[in-house]
Structure 1
Amino acid sequence: MDTIPLDYGTLRMIWWLLLGILLIGFAVMDGFDLGVATLLPAVARSDEERRVVINVIGPVWEGNQVWLILGGGAIFAAFPALYAVSFSGFYLAMFLILVALILRPVGFKFRSKVQDPRWRSVWDWALFVGGFVPALIFGVAMGNVVLGVPFHFDDNLRPIYTGGLFGLLTPFALLCGLVSVAMLAMHGAGMLAIKTEGAVSERARRLGAMAAVATAVLFALGGIWLALGIPGYAVVGTLDPAGPSNPLAKQVVAESGAWMRNYQAMPWTWLLPALGVGGALVCALMLRANRAMAAFLASSVAIASIILTEGLAVFPFLLPSSTQPGASLTLWDASSSHMTLFIMLLVTALFLPIVLLYTAWVFSVLRGKVGGSSLGDNPNSY
């Protein structure tokens, strides 16, 4: 261990930050794909318009979904206890997400194979489900992180989840799901405003502005609800940042206002929720002013700020336990070994820039508007 240049506590903090970056990368990159699919029935009226919308995201969705794979891989390798609890406890929710995500490639590939309007309508709605359902469930999952999840460990540190799918659908969690849907619809509308023109672009700007205002209002409502009515979790005493990964070697209590303590200790952090609300409102203004790129950047800032707001509120917790608070997972006691985290950091330092470079190259190649005439000239269009 003495040969590793970074101490265990520092590596744990770095991986907590990297996990946040990967989640933000997924929400910003694949988020506009989900948002565009969610808006598909509302912004496109004719078959040609629907093809235009589909071809905005059809060439890039696979590359964007790499961020989801990276995030899942990071949880698996850096925080295996979190992976074990969440991917087993949320199994049915994960299954719904996977089914919805599978509908996307099938819809893209099959929709235009048959000229029958009924056939195409079925796949259009499948694409809508593939956007709306993951957006909703991801938000519900984030809400349950704040509320705490019913799980505990046995004497052999095997996680035991005691909840069910419908137990996750509490009012606050559903509110978080609506924040996620509105947020990604706002983001998808920004991309449509950049890549389309005419009636589709006009409808996207109008609906995106409405979604942006809804994002700001719902996010603010969730913050007020959290501050006034939802207890948080706090560690009794202190945790050793370089201690062993044993989630049962601590005491945790549920306390009113615990999720606000990091903001009270560091007043500058109130900038994050302010940017979440402000970025969404700026996005609405930019969409109304027909400044599509500015709107997309503002929605990206809003998304990143909303995710960071929750991450900072629950820090250092990764997943609190509502039934056995002492079993709650934190970044200090749920990580992989010192050596594993260091090797993963080296691999990430090598491959993450490659992901960023090829993503930038793809969007550079695919720059420009998508229209009916371009679809007719391109045999590879959907």
Structure 2
Amino acid sequence: MELTTLWFLIVGVMLIGYFVLDGFDFGVGMALPFLGKDNTDRRLIINTIGPVWDLNETWLIVAGASLFAAFPEWYATMFSGFYLALLLILVALILRGVSFEYRHQGKGEQWTRWFDQFIVWGSVVPPLLWGVAFANLVQGLPIGLLPNGGWIYEGTLLTLLNPYGLLGGVVMVLVTFTHGLVFISLKTTGDMRERARALATKVGIGAILAGAVFLVWTIVMHLDHELLWLIVTCAAIAALALIGGFVANLAGREGWAFTGNAVGIAFALLTIFSALYPYLMYSTIDPAFSMSIEGAASSQKTLELMTWVAVFTLPLVLAYQAWTYWVFRKRLTRETITAGAH
């Protein structure tokens, strides 16, 4: 396997790790106004991700750094073209992170209410805009060529807000919301567990229906793709996994439900990456302007050095994260929430 293809897969794996792990963080944040009857409930919900949410977000940082080093042209074109959307994501993530740390510092109800709102919107906006962005990458964008041979995005934020792109955003929101609700039921007991499981059932129906439309639409757009068999396979596995997670949730098997959702998210993203390959960005202006993996990649020596670094560091990161989840594996109850918790 060529190093360019290998790093395309590595970046994809890192993004999958981010959306699987930070995905349930987003879902937990969205659940606050639906499951938080009082402040103790809301603190209980937030504490389910308290020890891990910042660790989960590091996958985005690592994925971005890898993207910058391995495919600098892709990084530059996407970040300049999607500047406003990415800025909104960054602001939302900052407000969300600050709110986790500061909501319990005030003494008034209004203070806490404001930060709870920041958590909710900081959990809705990123998956919505990420879904819109990835859907547009698959559908194609108005990408042109610069005089020096580089690429430039010639659209605006409104260009991204097309039916297929918006559907991708809605699907991402519904799937992560379901993922987070299942995680809450996995980490809590009693009334909170049952209410989270019941809401996950309702939201899960919408996630499956919207996801099915999105996956079928993606397949139809790429019927002439040389990897159509892989696109169809990944889409089918994603659909079956989401349905399996839904059935497991109905049966009260939160662990299997969470696994099903995680696998569904992973293979939905694999569907997108399979549809992209061997390009990083399709041009709707002229297919000849499309950005190929080889054309956007760094030098061979850079990729070789990065590969050796990844071989030694990635297993350590995975081991540390697995250990963290093992340490904080116990369920939480209302009784565990103290006055100093957040």
TM-score (norm 2): 0.95
Of 327, 342, 364, the match for 2:326: 364
- Specify the alignment match of 1:135 in structure 2: 127
Q: Which residue of 1 aligns with 2:227?
A: 262
1:296: which partner in 2? 258
Stretches of structure 2 lacking an aligned partner (at least 5 in a row): none
Q: Work out the CA distance in 1 between the residues paired with 2:2 and 2:271.
A: 22
Could you tell me which runs of 5 or more consecutive residues in structure 1 were left unpaired when the two chains were aligned.
1-8, 233-256
1:322 is aligned to 2:284: yes
1:343 paired residue number: 305
In the TM superposition, what is the alpha-carbon distance from 1:224 to its structure 2 partner?
3.0
Q: Which residue of 2 aligns with 1:225?
A: 217
Q: 2:58 aligns with which of 51, 66, 69?
A: 66
| CA RMSD in angstroms, aligned pairs only | 1.6
Counterpart-to-counterpart distance in 2, 1:276 and 1:105: 30
* In the alignment, structure 1 residue 145 sits paired with structure 2 residue 137: yes
Quote how far apart the aligned CAs of 1:269 are. Answer: 5.5
**Residue 286 of structure 1 aligns to which amino acid in structure 2?**
A
Structure 2 equivalent of residue 284 of structure 1: 246
- What corresponds to 2:163 in structure 1? 171
Shift of 1:223: 2.9
Q: Is the 8 A contact 1:44 1:53 kept in 2?
A: yes
The structure 2 residue matched to 1:334, chosen from 296, 299, 310, is 296
Give, in angstroms, the shift of residue 216 of structure 1.
1.9
Report if the CA contact (8 A) 1:215-1:277 is conserved: no
CA distance in 2, matches of 1:325, 1:271: 26
Distance between the aligned counterparts of 2:313 and 2:297, measured in 1?
A: 21
1:319-360 deviation line (CA, Å, top 9, x unaligned): 112223222112122111111001001111111111111111
> Partner of 1:253 in structure 2?
none
The answer to whether residue 9 in structure 2 is matched with residue 17 in structure 1 is: yes
Find the aligned partners of 2:148 and 2:58 in 1 and give their Cα distance: 34
Paired residue type of 2:314 = L
Match of 2:280, as an amino acid? L
Q: Which moved more, 1:324-333 or 1:275-284?
A: 324-333
AA in 2 matched with 1:373 = E
- CA shift for structure 1 position 50: 0.2
Q: Is the 8 A contact 1:286 1:295 kept in 2?
A: yes
Q: CA deviation at 1:151?
A: 2.3
Tell me which moved more, 198-207 or 188-197: 198-207
- For 1:313, which of 275, 283, 307 is the aligned residue? 275
- Residue 118 (str. 1) matches residue 83 (str. 2): no
> Aligned equivalents of 1:270 and 1:163: distance in 2?
30
Equivalence for 2:175? 183
Counterparts of 2:29 and 2:261, CA distance in 1: 17
Amino acid of the residue matched to residue 296 of structure 2?
A
Q: Is the 8 A contact 1:49 1:372 kept in 2?
A: yes
Which shows bigger deviation, 310-319 or 129-138? 310-319
SS at match of 1:113: coil
Runs of 4+ off more than 6 Å:
none
Q: Shift in Å at residue 227 of structure 1?
A: 4.2
Aligned to 1:241: none
> CA offsets per residue over residues 143-197 of structure 1, 9 Å max, x none?
1012212221222124332211122111110001011011111111121111112
Rg larger for: 1
SS in 2 for 1:258: coil
What secondary structure sits across from 2:152 in the alignment? strand
- Cα distance in 2, alignment partners of residues 165 and 271 from structure 1: 32
Determine which of 30, 34, 40 is the counterpart of 2:22.
30
Say if 2:249 and 2:257, in contact at 8 Å, map to a contact too: yes
Identify the residue that residue 79 of structure 1 maps to in structure 2.
71
TM-score by length of 1: 0.86
Higher helix proportion (structure 1 or 2):
2
Q: 3-state SS of the aligned residue for 1:160?
A: strand
In the TM superposition, residue 45 of structure 1 has moved relative to its aligned partner by 1.3
Aligned length: 342
Match of 1:210 among 195, 202, 209: 202
Tell which deviates more after alignment, 97-106 or 364-373. 364-373
Distance 1:150 1:300 in 2: 32
